[in-house]
Amino acid sequence: MQHPELKRWLQEADPTRLDALWRHADDVRRLHVGDAVHLRGLIELSNYCGRLCGYCGLRADNRDVPRYRMSHTEIVACARRAATLGFGTVVLQAGEDAALTREWVAELIRRIKTETNVAITLSLGERDTADLANWRAAGADRYLLRFETSDRSLFDRIHPPRNGQPSDRIARLHTLRELSYEVGSGVMIGIPGQSFDSLARDVKLFRDLNLDMIGVGPYIAHPATPLGRTNAPPAQPADEQVPNTAEMTCKVMALARIVCPAANIPSTTALATIGGADGQFLALQRGANVIMPNLTPRQYRLSYQIYPDKACFYDQSEENVSRLGTRLHNIGRQIGTGRGDSPNWQQRTTPSPSPAGRRCS
Ligand code: 5AD
């Protein structure tokens, strides 16, 4: 699918045509990744952050948020809980916290790997190559780093440089790939100043990066951030601005599935926050195949406010997981077993007769 068609789908308003898009994405999903819905236990291990991203409630200058950092013992207990609940993966997420040193994280990875069989996904922001290589060697399997938008000037407007260095997340993604991580990225939908043209280019970039995991969610205004606070004059004509709706998010998930058929695509928490549990389930029928239940201990969870009123439907209780299993069964799906590696990554890393492996189409 080329740029004009991607953009047309993003601007499509006709419900009958959209139904065809949802069906196509669902067919591609079934064919390439099957009916299993993999669960990833999300552990938000620290909300300290040294960055000043224009949209994120964890930005360094937000004094209203009580800061916390979990201990190794607490995090390993959460990982054990994930294994007991049958989850194949834990996602270790945090702000860019300087106290999460290379050695601290490596030791954590080793402890989790010694005590459980779960796959480890890291989501710790922009870290240098030596850190990423060290953590891969310690046993980390996957890394998530959203590029947020492929529009360089919009990206720069909402991501102030750190130590005078502008960030280059695309370069980080290439490094992760070279280190043989399963690589995940994605964008926010409806960032003020985001146009349909740039969002169509984002989807094209998913394909060009040949991503193994693609996470997209609606932008949600946080009042303690410059982007959420301002009633800044629109950066572009109103008809070019992408709305931050559940439907627009589903369109991007569906297109992501079509351009990267073998990727793992979560139905994200941000989508659940604006679309409810029903919205989260709809996405599973429009291309998504992963859910990330929150395993962060309750006393910390409210403080991980990247945006307000974060949804949390299927958390650590057995009861909630079994409720989720029933709901999935009702739509012809089941909870996945095992690690749930992306077939895209497996094809890329398993020697095959075709040296290029199978790429996104
Ligand atoms: N609204 C929606 N998503 C957000 N994120 C951060 N702040 C917000 C917000 N206000 C997303 C970013 C980041 C991920 C961890 O959370 O895409 O990469």
pLDDT reading at 144 higher than 70 = yes
For residue 58, the CA-to-ligand 1 centroid distance in Å is 10
pLDDT reading at 166 higher than 90 = no
For residue 43, the CA-to-ligand 1 centroid distance in Å is 16
Q: State the number of CA atoms in the 13 A half-sphere of 289 facing the CB.
A: 30
Shortest-distance atom of ligand 1 to CA 145: 18
41 three-state secondary structure: strand
At a CB cut-off of 8 Å and minimum separation 6, what does 261 contact? 28, 29, 31, 32, 33, 360, 361
Instruction: Write the pLDDT tens digit of every residue in 94-111.
Output: 999 999 999 999 999 999
Average pLDDT value for residue range 62-73: 97
Q: What is the pLDDT at residue 334?
A: 97
The overall pTM is greater than 0.85: yes
| Cross-strand bridge partners of residue 46 | 69, 94
pLDDT reading at 356 higher than 70 = no
- pLDDT > 70: percent of the chain: 95
Please indicate whether residue 202, judged by its CB atom, sits closer than 6 Å to ligand 1. Answer: no
Instruction: Write the pLDDT tens digit of every residue in 333-347.
Output: 999 999 999 999 998
Pocket perturbation via mutation, ligand 1, pick of 56, 169, 248 by most ligand atoms within 8 A of CB: 56
Q: How many CB atoms lie within 10 A of CB 338?
A: 12
**pLDDT band per the 50, 70, 90 thresholds, residue 360:** low
Shortest-distance atom of ligand 1 to CA 123: 15
- pLDDT > 90: percent of the chain: 85
Spatial distance between the Cα atoms of 187 and 219, rounded to a whole number of angstroms: 9
pLDDT reading at 84 higher than 60 = yes
Instruction: Write the pLDDT tens digit of every residue in 221-249.
Output: 999 999 998 766 566 788 899 999 999 99
pLDDT reading at 359 higher than 60 = no
Q: Select from 220, 215, 222, 303 the least CA-distant residue to 253.
A: 215
Q: Do 174 and 133 touch, CB atoms closer than 8 A?
A: no
**pLDDT band per the 50, 70, 90 thresholds, residue 331:** very high
**pLDDT band per the 50, 70, 90 thresholds, residue 121:** very high
Instruction: Write the pLDDT tens digit of every residue in 182-227.
Output: 999 999 999 999 999 999 999 999 999 999 999 999 999 999 999 9
172 three-state secondary structure: helix
Shortest-distance atom of ligand 1 to CA 146: 18
Average pLDDT, the chain: 93
pLDDT reading at 309 higher than 90 = no
**pLDDT band per the 50, 70, 90 thresholds, residue 357:** very low
Spatial distance between the Cα atoms of 359 and 344, rounded to a whole number of angstroms: 7
- The two tokens of residue 43 are 């552990």
